[in-house]
Each structure stands twice: as C-alpha cells, then as structure tokens.
C-alpha cells in the first residue's frame, strides 16, 4: 500500500511516545543483518513476496508500517536467540501474532524488526486434562476446528480471523458468562524473556509473571505458547447470526440492557454480542448479532426470545455440532486493508445511557458519509460480577475489576475508511467523540475507570486504568524479568506508566 510522506509522518507521530528513536539508520539496517547472519532464510526484506505477505496480514492499513525486515521464526529457540540478539544490540522490534488490532505501533514499527509469529501453529489438544496448547500464530477458527473434534471449546474470540493477542488483554468470548474472561482461562504461558531465556509461567512456576500476563500485554516477553482450559459442550448447541435493519433499532438498546442485567447474569449458558453498525454507503444502521446457547435444545430460552420477537432481516440460528463454522459466519464481510480505529470506555449498565450513547454515535456517524468506505460500529458487551469472581478463583488478573457489584458494559466504538488518506481527520474526530462520551458517563456517575486493552486506541491509558496497586505490581514484575527495560523501551504498544 502506498504511503505518502505526510501519512508516514502522521503514523510516526502516533507511535513516537512508545518507540525510541534509533541511534542512526545504519544501526536499524544492521539489526536485520545481525539476524540474517544467524537465520539467513528467515529474514525478509522489502521487495520479497514474504515481506508483502506479512505486511498484508494486518487488519488495519494504519498498522501496516515500514519495518526494515520481518523475522519469521518456526520454533521457540529461534525466537529466544533473536530476542537475545535484538536486546543486546538495542534494536527496536515488534511482535505480531494475528495483527487484528487497530492500535498503531502495537504490533509493528517503522525502521526496525518485526517478529512475525505466523508459523507458530501448534494446536495440541489434551481431552483428558482439558487443556489446549496453542501457538500465537493461530487464528481462532483454527483452534475451534481443533477442539470441535472433541466437542470442547476454549474461552476464545468469536471471529474466525482474530488472533491470540486477545489472550494478553482481557478476552470476550462465547463462554464469558459461565467461565469468565479469556485471560483467566490461560493456565500457562511459555515466554521468551528479554535476555533470551525461556520460562513457563503458571500458578506453580513464576506465578507473578503468569498473573502479569493476564492483562499486562507485551510488556514482559514474547509468548510462544498458551496452555488454555477447554470445556465440554453438548452434542449440539444453538448458534448463528441474526441480521437486523433500521426497523429493529428502536428496540436494540433495551434488548442489550436486558441482556447485560438479566440473561448474562441469570442464564449463563447464553451469549449475545450486542452491536450495530452504520453503513455510509446506504446511510442505514444494521446489525449482525452473534448468538450462542450452550445447550442441546431446539429453540432459544425465554431469556433470549425477545431478540427474535423484534423485526429481523435474516436468522441463521440452528442446532450445530461445531463452533468453527460460527466463527466464519461472524467474520463474513470483514477483511484486511481498510483504515480502522477502535476506542473503548467502560460504564455501568444503564438503560437510558445506552440509548443516549447510541443516539449520539448515530449522529456522529451520519456526519462522515462523505468518506469512501465509511463504516461505524458500536458494541455493548457485559462483564458481570460473576465473571470477575471467576478470575479471582483462577488466580487473579491485573485488570482491577474486583469489587464490582453490578454489571459493567464495555462500550466499543469503531470507525473505518477505505483510504488511509481519509483517516487523519476521521480518527481525530473519533477520538474527540469518544472522549465526549467518557465525560458524559462520568457526569452521570456511571463511568468505570477500566479501559479494555483489546479494543483500545494507542493513546488510551489502558494500564493506567488498572489502579495503583496493579500498576505497582506490574512495574515490579517488569523490573524482575526485564531489568534493562527492553520491552518498555524497544517494543511498542501499551506501556507501563512511569
């Protein structure tokens, strides 16, 4: 994709706070050469087909930056050697798993090395101990396909092409209501530390690092394997996608509110992802809402029936024996290459505030129909007190959600433009809009401080939202495992507060 000088300047400015300036350009080129001396067939430069393939793997064009090379390892030992070399030579580098994030600099850089975990496709299923060992190069449809064979499922993302970075942030999933967040269902991480050593972090080995990785992101090392819990599901479940048009929009926020405070709390086998989008091409709102009911039943339970009593356009809910096809169905129509920005805040579930936020986002979206390929997406996703308690039972995380007494709602706001050239003004306005919603929620006394990593923008203070105690804990873990600050100073993304 062609990037003008002004756009590269914009992108550079966006990530300058997270990426140190190189000593000189020659040093950055040398970093690739250092790796090539050891791995001559795994370093890929601009102009090669593999470089193009790795660049095209990013979901958002705003994240397809200009590293000097991609390093494409096959095994953990190669990652360990590379990280040790990059650290010792003070080389800027990034790590990309699925690349399905819109936060500029989270998994890429300008003028450095990007370690692409594309080849880490391990999917080992232990149906006796209910553990799946998965590599960070997997997309979730691949993991679903592996676990479907055993009628088991992990607490994974719902969309086929989303990758494992979700497992370091928080993780919303079909199984959240009964099992909690994705991070709380990782039982072990294989981690390459800054000095090139490899450790297994679990409740029994390096438990501080294990806990830090449950929300602490890429601040401590490179995860080369996740061991996750998997759970049985019935011979068939009810799942599918319900498409709604403008006719359903007057009812949608009430349905979303009731899901937050009723079904998600009292009928834990249910799952819905409440969302609607505004299509700039049609000037209309629409919704493609994923459903799952983890029970071998012929129809939806009463708690979900109101969702199909309102006008809908298309309904694929059916009994199915596999979840991988659902992930593809959810993902249909989403593709790489557009300019994307995600932002998020967290509020306490509130019917009137739900309605007002939707009204305001709809009005905002209508003002951008002149942008080619414009789309706006808004989701409302619950985190219940039970989900938080499951995290505590599983050893705790660093998100700072303990003590909530009512359901939270993760408010997702996303905007899309076909052309990167249109993104500067759109993204700035989007930032301003979401800040106005944050202030509105704060004025109403319904704002929670938490900012979910998985849906954040580069300039949202994610880790700062975890609370002072968790910030101090993360800083202590970073000092213990990365005393030279490699992952704070040489690797981009959401960094620990100073």
Interstrand relation of 408-417 and 284-293 (parallel, antiparallel or unpaired): unpaired
pLDDT digits (tens, 9 = 90+) for 387-430: 999 999 999 999 999 999 999 999 999 999 999 999 999 999 99
Q: Where in the chain is the domain with CATH 3.40.462.20?
A: 237-321+331-462
* CB-facing half-sphere around the CA of 267: CA atoms within 13 A: 19
Q: How far apart are CA 292 and CA 274, in angstroms?
A: 12
Residue 8 has pLDDT above 90, yes or no: no
Q: Which of 30-34, 40-44, 232-236, 330-334 is predicted least confidently?
A: 330-334
What residues contact 153, with CB distance under 8 A and at least 6 apart? 144, 147, 174, 175, 230, 231, 233, 323
pLDDT of residue 333: 82
Q: Is the dihedral of CA 381, 443, 426, 10 positive or negative?
A: negative
Whether the pLDDT of residue 27 is over 50: the answer is no
Q: What is the pLDDT of residue 4?
A: 39
Write phi, then psi, for 226 (nearest 5 degrees): -115, 130
Q: How confident is the model at residue 335 (pLDDT cuts 50, 70, 90)?
A: confident
The pLDDT score that the predictor gives to residue 464 is 98
First to last CA, the chain: 36
Average pLDDT over residues 122-142: 98
Q: Choose which CATH entry (3.40.50.1000, 1.25.50.10, 1.20.120.640, 3.40.462.20) describes domain 237-321+331-462.
A: 3.40.462.20
**Residue, of 103 and 96, whose pLDDT is higher:** 96
- Average pLDDT over the chain, rounded to an integer: 94
* Cα(206)–Cα(189) distance, integer angstroms: 10
pLDDT in the model for residue 9: 45
CATH topology for the 123-233+466-486 domain: 3.30.465
| Range with the poorest average pLDDT among 8-17, 42-51, 225-234 | 8-17
Quote the tokens at residue 338: 């557009």
Question: The CATH number of 5-116 is which of 3.40.50.1860, 3.30.465.10, 3.40.50.720, 3.40.50.12280?
Answer: 3.30.465.10
pLDDT tens figures, 275-310: 999 999 999 999 999 999 999 999 999 999 999 999
From 16-25, 416-425, 446-455, 471-480, the region with the lowest mean pLDDT: 16-25
In the DSSP assignment, the letter for residue 496 is P
Q: Nearest-CA neighbor of 349 among 265, 436, 246, 451? A: 265
Looking at residue 386, its pLDDT comes to: 98
Q: What mean pLDDT do residues 135-156 have?
A: 98
Backbone phi, psi, residue 10, to 5°: -60, -50
Is the pLDDT score of 339 beyond 80?
yes
DSSP designation for 19: S
Band (pLDDT 50/70/90 cuts) for residue 498 is: confident
Residues of the chain with CATH 3.30.465.10: 5-116, 123-233+466-486
Nearest to 170 by CA among 347, 345, 397, 370: 397
Cα–Cα–Cα angle for 146, 163, 169, nearest 5°?
120
pTM listed for this prediction = 0.94
Q: How far is CA 450 from CA 275, 346, 393, in A?
A: 20, 6, 20
| pLDDT (tens digit per residue) in 70-95 | 999 999 999 999 999 999 999 999 99
pLDDT value at residue 17: 42
């Amino acid at each position: 994709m062609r990037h003008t000088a002004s756009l590269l300047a914009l992108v550079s400015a966006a990530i300058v706070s997270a990426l140190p300036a190189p000593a000189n350009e020659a040093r950055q080129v040398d970093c690739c050469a250092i790796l090539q001396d050891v791995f001559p067939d795994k370093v890929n430069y601009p102009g090669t087909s593999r470089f193009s393939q790795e660049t095209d793997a990013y979901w958002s064009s705003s994240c397809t930056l200009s590293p000097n090379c991609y390093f494409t390892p096959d095994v953990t030992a190669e990652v360990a050697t590379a990280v040790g070399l990059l650290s010792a030579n003070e080389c800027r580098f990034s790590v990309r798993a699925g690349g399905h994030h819109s936060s500029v600099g989270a998994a890429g850089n300008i003028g450095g090395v990007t370690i692409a975990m594309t080849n880490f496709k391990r999917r080992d299923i232990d149906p006796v101990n209910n553990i799946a060992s998965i590599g960070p190069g997997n997309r979730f449809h691949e993991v679903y396909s592996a676990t479907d064979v055993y009628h088991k499922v992990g607490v994974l993302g719902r969309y086929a092409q989303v990758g494992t970075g979700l497992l370091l942030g928080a993780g919303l999933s079909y199984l959240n209501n009964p099992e909690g967040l994705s991070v709380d269902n990782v039982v072990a991480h294989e981690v390459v530390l800054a000095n090139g050593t490899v450790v297994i972090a679990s409740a029994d080995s390096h438990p501080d690092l294990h806990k830090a990785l449950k929300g602490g992101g890429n601040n401590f090392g490179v995860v080369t394997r996740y061991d996750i819990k998997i759970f049985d599901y019935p011979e068939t479940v009810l799942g599918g996608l319900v498409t709604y048009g403008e006719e359903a929009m007057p009812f949608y926020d009430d349905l979303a509110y009731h899901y937050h405070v009723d079904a998600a709390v009292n009928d834990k086998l249910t799952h819905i992802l409440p969302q609607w989008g505004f299509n700039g091409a049609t000037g209309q709102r629409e919704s493609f809402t994923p459903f799952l009911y983890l029970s071998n039943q012929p129809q939806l339970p009463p708690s979900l029936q109101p969702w199909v009593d309102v006008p809908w356009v298309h309904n694929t809910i059916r009994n199915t024996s596999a979840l991988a096809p659902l992930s593809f169905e959810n993902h249909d129509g989403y593709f790489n290459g557009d300019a994307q920005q995600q932002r998020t805040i967290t509020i306490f579930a509130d019917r009137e505030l739900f309605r007002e936020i939707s009204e305001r986002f709809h009005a905002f979206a209508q003002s951008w129909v002149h942008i080619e390929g414009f789309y706006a997406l808004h989701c409302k996703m619950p985190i219940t007190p039970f989900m938080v308690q499951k995290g505590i039972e599983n050893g705790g995380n660093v998100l700072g959600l303990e003590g909530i007494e009512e359901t939270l709602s993760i408010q997702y706001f996303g905007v899309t433009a076909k052309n990167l050239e249109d993104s500067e003004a759109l993204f700035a306005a989007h930032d301003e809009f979401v800040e106005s919603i944050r202030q509105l929620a704060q004025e109403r006394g319904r704002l929670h401080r938490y900012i979910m990593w998985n849906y954040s923008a580069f300039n949202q203070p994610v880790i700062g939202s975890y609370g002072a105690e968790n910030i101090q804990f993360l800083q202590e873990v970073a000092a213990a495992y990365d005393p030279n600050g490699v992952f704070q100073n040489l690797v981009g993304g959401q960094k620990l507060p100073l």
